[in-house]
Amino acid sequence: MRITNNMLINNMIKYIGNNLTRMDKFQAQLATGKKIQVPSDDPVVAARALKLRTDVAEIQQYQRNLKDARSWLEITESALSDMGDIFQRVRELIVGSDAIESPEDLQATRNEIEQLRTQLINLGNSAYAGRYIFTGFKTDQKLLDENGNFLVDVSNTEQIFYQIGLADSININVLGGDMFNGGADITPGDIGNPGKLIQDMNDLLQAFEDANYSDISSMAQRFSDNLDNVLRLRADVGARINRLDLTENRMLNDVTNFTRLMSENENVDMTETIMNLKNEENVYRASLAGGARIIMPSLVDFLR
C-alpha cells in the first residue's frame, strides 16, 4: 500500500487527538474527584452510584422521621411527668387534710386543687408543632374544653405511626381516652363529658367544698391509681424512646457505611490519577514532538 504524506499527517492528527482526549479525561477526574462525568463513561459505576444515593437519601429521611418522632414522644413524656407531679401533690393535700382545722385553710387547699385541675386540663391539650398529641388522628382538635369535658370521641384506638426504617415503624402517640379514663380497658366519658381523671378532681373539689373529711380521705386511693396509670404510660413512652435511640445509632452506622461505599464507587484515587495524568501528558508531548518531525519535511527540503 502506498503511504502518502497526507495520510501520515491525518493519522498524526488522529493519534494526537486520542492522546489529548485521554489526558482530558484524567484532568476532569482530578478536577472533580469523580471517576465518571456522564453515565456513558461507565454505566455500571453510574447505576451503582444512583442506587447508593437513593439508599442514603432514604436513610436521611428516616433520620428526619426519627427526630420528629423523638420530639413528639419527649413532649408526651414531659406532659405525663407533669401529670404525675399533679397527682402526687393531690395525694399530699389529701393526706394533709386531716390536720386542717380552719375553714380558711380548707378553702386555700381547695383553691390549690382547683389550680391543679386547670393545669391538668392544659396538659391534656398539649401540642407539638401545632398538633394536639392526645387526640389520635384529630391532631387539629383539642382533647378537652375549659371545664375538662371531652371535645373528641375518646373510644377510638387511633395510633399514629412514623416510618423509621425499611419495614420498621413506631407508634408515637398516647390516646386521650387511655390517659384520662385511667386505662385502655376503662371507657367512661365521651364528647361533652369528663373522663375519670377530671371527674376525680371534680369529686375531690366538691368534698373540700362540703368539708367532708371522710370523702376526702377515701379518695386517696383513687389518686394513687391515677398516678399508677400515668407511670404505666410513662414507662411505655420511655420504652419507645429507648427504641428510637437504638434505631438512631443504627442509622448513623448505615449512613457511614453507605457514604464509604459511595466514595469507593465514585471517587478517584488522587495519587493514581495524578500518575496517569502525568503519563498521558508525556505521551501527548511525545506525540506532538513526533508530529512536528513528520510535518517538517516538504518537497522543497529535497530540492535544495
* Domain residue spans of the chain: 5-33+270-303, 53-260
**Does residue 87 surpass a pLDDT of 70?**
yes
**Does residue 186 surpass a pLDDT of 50?**
no
Higher pLDDT, 114 or 155: 114
| Full-model pTM | 0.76
Name the CATH code of domain 53-260 (choices 3.50.50.60, 3.30.70.1050, 2.10.210.10, 1.20.1330.10).
1.20.1330.10
Long-range contacts from 214-217, C-beta under 8 angstroms, 24+ separation? 216/94, 216/97, 217/94, 217/97, 217/98
**Does residue 258 surpass a pLDDT of 90?**
no
Pair 191, 150: CB distance under 8 Å: yes
Closest CA to 179 of 217, 232, 239: 232
**Does residue 63 surpass a pLDDT of 90?**
yes
Predicted pLDDT of residue 99? 67
